[in-house]
């Protein structure tokens, strides 16, 4: 099995470079008798504990390189399993429905607390309705006061109405010429 170790290492180095391929780890016999997998440690940044697998097809005294793979080891960080969009969307919708139900329950609880507070403040409903007409008449009295509208701008004493956005003469119109 170690007969083809140098050929497997040469294939890994050719594929990924000398700086990326680490020490020899082990040789695995694949399901077929003629296929061997040589494993080397990875020295690639960002891929700690990953392994270079070199698959060789062995026919007697000769071997042919089938594949050079970079595979995760047992303690490697890997991406989570792929989840179909329909399942992720269903989870999102279920979460949104739960949040809306919690918000509605909190609002109902808050409303019931306010009702309890209103009934415990010491005033009866009859006292509250008796106070309302006095407040309404005060609002009506203020509403009937005439308001004098001054149409002339007090800041402009020259009597000349400004044009456009600027009311003062000369702003933005005159440029010095050389």
170 token code pair: 């000369």
How much is the pLDDT for 144?
55
Q: How far is the C-alpha of 178 from the C-alpha of 175, rounded, in Å? A: 10
How much is the pLDDT for 2?
67
Burial of 27: CB neighbours in 10 Å, binned 0-12, 13-18, 19+: middle
Q: How far is the C-alpha of 170 from the C-alpha of 174, rounded, in Å? A: 6
Q: How far is the C-alpha of 103 from the C-alpha of 107, rounded, in Å? A: 6
Q: How do the domains of the chain map onto residue ranges? A: 2-72, 79-118
How much is the pLDDT for 117?
61
What end-to-end distance do the CA atoms of the chain give, in Å? 92
Cα atoms found within 13 Å of the Cα of residue 154, Cβ hemisphere only: 2
41 token code pair: 């440690």
How much is the pLDDT for 137?
53
Q: How far is the C-alpha of 26 from the C-alpha of 33, rounded, in Å? A: 17
Angle CA 94–99–102, to nearest 5 = 125
- DSSP structural state of residue 77: -
Tell me yes or no: is domain 2-72 CATH 3.10.450: yes
32 neighbors 59 (Cβ within 8 angstroms): no
Q: What is the mean pLDDT of each run of 10 residues along the chain (178 residues)?
A: 85 93 91 87 91 92 92 85 86 92 90 68 54 54 54 53 56 57
How much is the pLDDT for 79?
81
């Amino acid at each position: 099995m170690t007969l083809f170790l140098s050929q497997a290492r040469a294939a890994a180095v050719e594929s990924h470079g000398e700086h990326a391929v680490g020490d020899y780890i082990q040789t695995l016999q694949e399901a077929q008798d003629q296929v061997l997998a040589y494993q080397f440690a990875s020295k690639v940044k960002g891929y700690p504990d990953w392994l270079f697998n070199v698959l060789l097809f062995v026919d007697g005294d000769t071997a042919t390189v089938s594949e050079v793979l970079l595979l995760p080891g047992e303690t490697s960080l890997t991406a989570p399993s792929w989840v179909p969009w329909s399942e992720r969307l269903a989870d999102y919708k279920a979460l949104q429905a739960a949040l809306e139900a919690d918000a509605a329950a909190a609002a109902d609880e808050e409303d019931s607390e306010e009702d309890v507070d209103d009934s415990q403040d010491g005033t009866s409903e009859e006292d509250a309705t008796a106070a309302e007409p006095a407040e309404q008449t005060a609002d009506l009295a203020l509403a009937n006061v005439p308001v004098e509208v001054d149409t002339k701008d007090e800041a402009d004493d020259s009597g000349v109405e400004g044009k456009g956005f600027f009311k003062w003469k000369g702003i933005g119109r005159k440029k010095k010429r050389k």
